[in-house]
Amino acid sequence: MLQSRSGGARRGTTAAESGPMSIGTVLNLLRDEFPEVTISKIRFLESEGLVEPQRTPSGYRKFRPKDVERLSRILRLQRDHYLPLKVIREQLDALDRGEEIRLPGPARPSDALDPFDADGGEPSGAGGADLPRTARVGRDELLAAAEADEEQLREWEAYGLVGPDEDGGYDADAVTVARIVADLGRYGLEPRHLRVVKASAEREAGLVEQVVAPLRRHRNPQTRAHAEATARELATLAVRLHATLVQSALRARLR
C-alpha cells in the first residue's frame, strides 16, 4: 500500500490493489502526494527502465501495486533527496537484491531543469561555495567564478550570452553560462561562434512556451502547477535531444 510522506496509508489505494491499474488510475493515486506528476513523466520513467508495467495484447499499460510503490519511491527520491536517475536506478537495483541502502539527507535540487535527471552540479560561486538558484552575485563575483576578466564579460554581454538582472546582479544561470563560455573559449570558441547556440536555445524555449501557454493562463492553480511541471519535462527532453543530435553528428563527421 502506498505510504504518505508522514508514513500513513494513502486513501484510495486499497480498492485499486485488487488488480492491474491503468496509467490514468496510477496518476490519480500518485497525485495526492505528488501533485505535479504527469502521464508523460510516468511514461518517461518507463522509457528509462525504472518501472516495467505489463502490456495487454492491444498494447495498453497495466500497472501492478508493486509498480505503483516503485513509482512512489522514485518520486520521493527525486523530491526529498534530488537524486539523479542513475543513482536512483542503483538504489532500486540494490533493494531488488535485498541490500540495505543509505540515503543522503534532504537537499536542494542540483539542476534547474530536473524533474528527471539532475546529473549536473549547481554552479559554484567565488571560492567554490555553492550558489543557490535564487541567489544573486555581483559583477566581480561572476568574474571570479568564471575565471574571466572584464573585457571577456563585456564581449559575452555584447553577444547576449550573459546579462545582469534589473538590479545589476547575476543569477545562478548567468554564472553557469559564464563558466561554460569561458571553458569553451579556452578551446578557441569565441562568443561570436556561440550565437547559433543562443539562437537555438531561444527557439527551443519558444516551442516549450507555445505548449504550456494555455495551461499557464488557466485559473485553476493545479493546472498552472501542471504547466510548470510540463515546461520542465519538455525542457529536459529538448536538452537531451539536442545533446544526442550533436553527438550523433560528431560521430558521423569523425568516422
Query: What digits encode the pLDDT tens for the residues 77-122?
Result: 887 876 777 888 888 888 888 887 776 555 444 343 443 343 333 3
Same domain, 199 and 239: yes
pTM beyond cutoff 0.85: no
Q: Is residue 111 part of a domain?
A: no
For 11-63, the three-class secondary structure string (H helix, E strand, C coil) is: CCCCHHHHCCECHHHHHHHHHCCCCCCCHHHHHHHHHCCCCCCEECCCCCEEE
Would you say residue 2 has pLDDT above 50? Answer: no
Would residue 244 count as lying in a domain? yes
Pairing of strands 54-55, 61-62: antiparallel
Residue 108 lies in a domain: no
CATH code at 47?
1.10.1660.10
Position 124 scores a pLDDT of 36
Contacts of 149 (CB under 8 A, 6+ apart): 143
76, part of any domain = yes
Residue 172 and residue 110 in contact, taking contact as beta carbons nearer than 8 Å: no
Same domain membership, residue 88 and residue 25: yes
Residues 230 and 174 in one domain: no
> Which pLDDT value is given to residue 122?
37
Mean pLDDT of 221-237: 83
Q: Are residues 185 and 153 in the same domain?
A: yes
Do 211 and 172 share a structural domain?
no
Residues 228 and 184 in one domain: no
Q: Dump pLDDT digits (tens) for 28-70.
A: 999 989 888 888 889 888 988 899 999 988 888 999 999 999 9
Cell of 154: 563585456
The average confidence (pLDDT) of the chain is 79
Q: In terms of domains, do 32 and 88 share one?
A: yes
Domain membership of residue 116 (yes or no) is no
The reply to whether 7 falls in a domain is: no
Domain that holds residue 39: 15-96
pLDDT tens figures, 111-159: 434 433 433 333 333 333 345 555 678 998 888 888 889 999 999 999 9
> Could you tell me if residue 117 is inside a domain?
no
Q: Is residue 109 part of a domain?
A: no
| One domain, residues 170 and 208 | no
- Bridge partners of 137, per DSSP, are 170
Residue 133: predicted pLDDT = 55
Residues 62 and 134 in one domain: no
Domain count, the chain: 3
| pLDDT of residue 8 exceeding 60 | no
Contacts of 86 (CB under 8 A, 6+ apart): 117, 119
